[in-house]
Amino acid sequence: MTVLRVGIVGLGAQMQENLLPTLLQMPDIRIVAVCDSDLTRAGQIHRFISEVAITDDFDEMLDTAALDAVVMACPPQAHRDLAIKAMAKGVHVFVEKPPCFTLAELEYLIGAARQAQVVTGVGMNFKYAKPMRQLRDMTRTEQFGKVVHIQLNHYASKPTAPLWGLDSTLRSFLLAQAIHTIDLGVTFGGGELRDIESRVQRHEDSLLVSLELGFSSGATVSLLSGTMFPYFEFDMKIVSSNSMMVELNNLWNITLHEPVHGTSATGTAKRWRGAWQPGPLDSGYERSGYFGELEKFFDAVRNRSPYEASFESLLPTFRVIEQICHADSARADVAPVLALHSTHAAKSPAFLGAQTNVL
């Protein structure tokens, strides 16, 4: 397989904990350059591999490293601005979520990607998590039937203050956390997104978002999320037209409730269901989707084929995010709650600085 030359941007917690270890163990990938506004942090790459150029100047990296692709984990303004630069040079781009702040910015990025004819990707790791792939396979079978409803519960404890220079804690939360679950709703909902209804409840610095989506397929999604929980957790259920329900708990355990189930020692019998759990030694970055998202991105780069979690794929998700913010503002009789600070600053620490893991 072709070896791809990869440049890394932003060597913060999310990169060091999840993306970097995944890249290091991925075949046919070479990390050839690292860019971070903090050169000392960039230099930490040398604890892992020796022959890597480091820089705090993204333009220099683009000019000198002969990159096939960049992988970034930065604040959104950096994702947005550096992605545009990279795409302009024909370099494929993978960014951690969120890729940018607004739907308008996303549309701009999509246009730039189309023009540059590069592959783009966003780190929607939930979508590539191993059990999620099992759910996708299950829900596509004829036996499962049509997806009728998806219930998504995404519990978080942060952010409780605006991130990345934004004014809005709500938008920060949606971009940092709920983006995953909204994207899952869109992914399993199928067809065109038709209806969006949302409600935001607040208590002190915490918020709770209820969301209902309707799709042209006839499927509906209900999502409960927010920062009013003690820690990050996640569960989901999918109901089908064939009276099946599949549950995913903790991104790990799967239960399938189906009208007819049995075992060889009972035959078909009431209230028996199928349960799946991973092996005791299941390890690595497959479960959480970090391996899958990058592996498929690089496949797409090699084959110049579409990548499922492209910038473009996030259009419905960003429409939902805008709509939630808009509806919340309208209710609050408040004019624009969203105002980006320093949206075009370049090469400032705030923007080349590495991403903290917000989950």
Q: Residue 210 Cβ, how far from a copy of itself at the closest point, in Å?
A: 6
- Residue 231 binds a copy of itself (CB under 8 A): yes
Residue 186 or 248: the one with the smaller Cβ distance to a copy of itself is 248
Q: Which residues contact 283 (CB under 8 A, 6 or more apart)?
A: none
CB 68 within 8 A of CB 94: no
Max Cα-Cα span within the chain: 68
Segment near a copy of itself (CB under 8 A); pick from 69-77, 87-95, 109-117, 277-285: 277-285
* 264 binding a copy of itself? (CB under 8 A): yes
Residue whose CB is less far from a copy of itself, 14 or 77: 14
Question: Taking CB under 8 A as the rule, which mask of x and - marks residues 88-127 in contact with a copy of itself?
Answer: -------------------------------------x--
Using a 10 angstrom Cβ sphere, with 0-12 exposed, 13-18 middle and 19 or more buried, the burial of residue 282 is: exposed
Residue from 39, 66, 88, 269 touching a copy of itself (CB under 8 A): that is 269
161 in contact with a copy of itself (CB under 8 A): no
User: Judged by CB under 8 A, which of 257, 296, 319, 326 binds a copy of itself?
Assistant: 257
Binding of residue 330 to a copy of itself (CB under 8 A):
no
- Measured between alpha carbons, how far is 18 from 193 in angstroms, rounded to an integer? 31
DSSP conformation letters of 250-271: TTTEEEEE-SS-EETTTEE-TT
Using CB under 8 A, pick the residue from 285, 297, 298, 311 that binds a copy of itself: 285
Q: Taken in order 72, 117, 25, 2, is the CA torsion positive or negative?
A: negative
Measured CA to CA in angstroms, residue 97 lies from 185, 203, 268 at distances of: 16, 26, 45
Candidate residues 143, 333, 334, 344; the one interacting with a copy of itself per rule CB under 8 A: 143
Stretch that binds a copy of itself, among 65-73, 161-169, 186-194, 252-260 (CB under 8 A): 252-260
Q: Which residue among 5, 218, 319, 346 contacts a copy of itself (CB under 8 A)?
A: 218
- If binding is defined by CB under 8 A, does position 239 make contact with a copy of itself? yes
Whether residue 73 contacts residue 14, with contact meaning beta carbons closer than 8 Å, is answered with yes
Determine, following the binding rule CB under 8 A, whether residue 213 of this chain makes contact with a copy of itself.
no
161 vs 250 by CB, closer to a copy of itself = 250
Query: What residue type is 30 in one-letter code?
Result: R
Q: Which of 255, 302, 315, 337 binds a copy of itself (CB under 8 A)?
A: 255
With binding defined as CB under 8 A, does residue 2 bind a copy of itself?
A: no
Within residues 35-54, the interface with a copy of itself by CB under 8 A covers 47-51
Q: For residue 1, how many other CB atoms are within 10 A of its CB? A: 9
Is 359 among the residues that bind a copy of itself (CB under 8 A)?
Answer: yes
Does position 192 bind a copy of itself by CB under 8 A?
A: no
Residue 138 touching a copy of itself (CB under 8 A): yes
Residues that contact a copy of itself, how many (by CB under 8 A): 97
Q: Is 276 a residue that touches a copy of itself (CB under 8 A)?
A: yes
Report CA-CA distances (Å) from 288 to 33, 46, 69, 292.
Answer: 26, 26, 22, 9
Told to check if 217 binds a copy of itself by CB under 8 A, we report: no
In a 13 Å sphere around the CA of 276, the CA atoms on its Cβ side amount to 16
- 206 near a copy of itself, rule: CB under 8 A: yes
DSSP 67-87: -SEEEE-S-HHHHHHHHHHHH
User: At CA 288, angle to CA 17 and CA 121, rounded to 5?
Assistant: 80
C-alpha–C-alpha distance, residues 64 and 66, integer Å: 6
